[in-house]
Amino acid sequence: MCSVSTFSYLLFYALFTVLINAQCTNPTVRREWRTLDRDERAAWISAVKCLAASPNNPDLVATGRYLLHPYGLECEGEFPAVVSKILFYLWKILYQIHQTGMFLPFHRWFVHSVEQAMVEKYGFSGGFPYWNWTIDAPDFYKSSWWQDSDTESGLGGWGDPDKDYEVQDGAFAGFALANPSYHPMRYQYTAQPFAAFAASSPTIAQFFNSTMLETYANSTFHADQIAAIIAGNPSDLVNFQLSPDNWICAHGSVHAITGGDLAGTCPATTEDCIPGNKWWPNSPLFFLHHAMIGKIWSDWQNLNETSATAFAGGSVQAFDNTTYFAEYPTRAPPMLNTSSDIYMDNMFPGATIGDVSNHTAGYLCYVYE
Ligand SMILES: [Cu+2]
């Protein structure tokens, strides 16, 4: 049941400005999904479904950057009530928030903003869960992550190959999504996803050599590798960020090995569809995945004082050629700084990059367990 009170929604925005200056004395705790009990899992799923069914924010302003995407204009407009509109939004600005300095700040603010909407509009108690996929890396296909088919609290398993990889069990079976066309949620296990990913675009293909094309995705996100990323590159955000946001990396690998609505092939019913990364944020798993990316950033920040406030990065993907790409590892000018606004286009309240560098101060008040 999704009950929305206009009053509480308005109150949320009024409170929001007051909370900026509040002390973070009682942070919410972000826990791994599998440590949540059944009621906690069901509460998160219920709030996500309510959010997905809610109307678009009328203040959302479409900007020119949507036009970069070949499907951008086709997907504008109203969708049936159950379509996951909020997930739809992020997909449109894919090119500004990956492989730019916006990658970590944007995703931190976006997950937080979604959590706040769930709390204020749908009674979610807060403490956003995360997906520690290092647990699943050794045998991703058969891991415990894909074994919970509870219709209220389970995330469900893999899609059925005989039914276009549509998910058949768990609370999100049949969950309706808008991109690249209206379809039920899908997951398609793909052990070596990068050849297909590279083939989706000549621009992307130029950055892949034969070794990269054959990489097993789960070989990039084992626990010891993530620990090394966190311990490596102290104070050096440029090279730290490259670890989860390069062509072959933990972030992209989790998307691509899951396939379907976390990044993958086209739904069978979609015409003129280019497979690949165009709908990476479709699945609600997106938020659990990016809460984990936020945890890795947080763990790295907590290792030393300089890392805690470090920022560096450009605003434009440096994809012209491999030399230019190598010159701007977290992307090209115009450069971003801590005063730069995070792209939200009025969907959620705005913030700057500096506002999100510390998740226990200012707007943010949570810790990871
Ligand atoms: Cu992602």
Report pLDDT digits (tens) over 51-98.
777 665 656 555 433 322 223 323 333 333 333 344 444 444 556 777
Q: Write the CATH number for 178.
A: 1.10.1280.10
- 346 close to 60: Cβ distance less than 8 angstroms: yes
Structural domains counted in the chain: 1
Distance 261 CA to ligand 1 centre (A): 11
| Backbone angles phi and psi of 8, in degrees to 5 | -65, -30
CA distance 343 to 315: 11
Distance 203 CA to ligand 1 centre (A): 19
**Does residue 203 form part of some domain?**
yes
Distance 114 CA to ligand 1 centre (A): 15
**Does residue 87 form part of some domain?**
yes
Residues of the chain short of pLDDT 50, as ranges, are 5-14, 16-18, 21, 63-92
Distance 251 CA to ligand 1 centre (A): 6
CA distance 61 to 63: 6
**Does residue 22 form part of some domain?**
yes
DSSP string, 69-120: STTTTTT-S---TTS-HHHHHHHTTHHHHSSSTTHHHHHHHHHHHHHHHHHH
Distance 23 CA to ligand 1 centre (A): 30
Distance 119 CA to ligand 1 centre (A): 23
Give 205-224 pLDDT, tens digit per residue.
Answer: 888 889 989 999 999 999 99
Distance 305 CA to ligand 1 centre (A): 27
pLDDT value of residue 279? 66
CB-based contacts of 50, cutoff 8 Å, min separation 6: 2, 4, 118, 121, 122
pLDDT value of residue 213? 92
Q: How many CB atoms lie within 10 A of CB 140?
A: 21
Residue 75's domain spans which residues?
A: 6-368
Distance 94 CA to ligand 1 centre (A): 9
Distance 73 CA to ligand 1 centre (A): 22
**Does residue 230 form part of some domain?**
yes
Distance 19 CA to ligand 1 centre (A): 28
Distance 286 CA to ligand 1 centre (A): 6
pLDDT value of residue 1? 61
**Does residue 1 form part of some domain?**
no
pLDDT value of residue 85? 43
pLDDT value of residue 203? 78
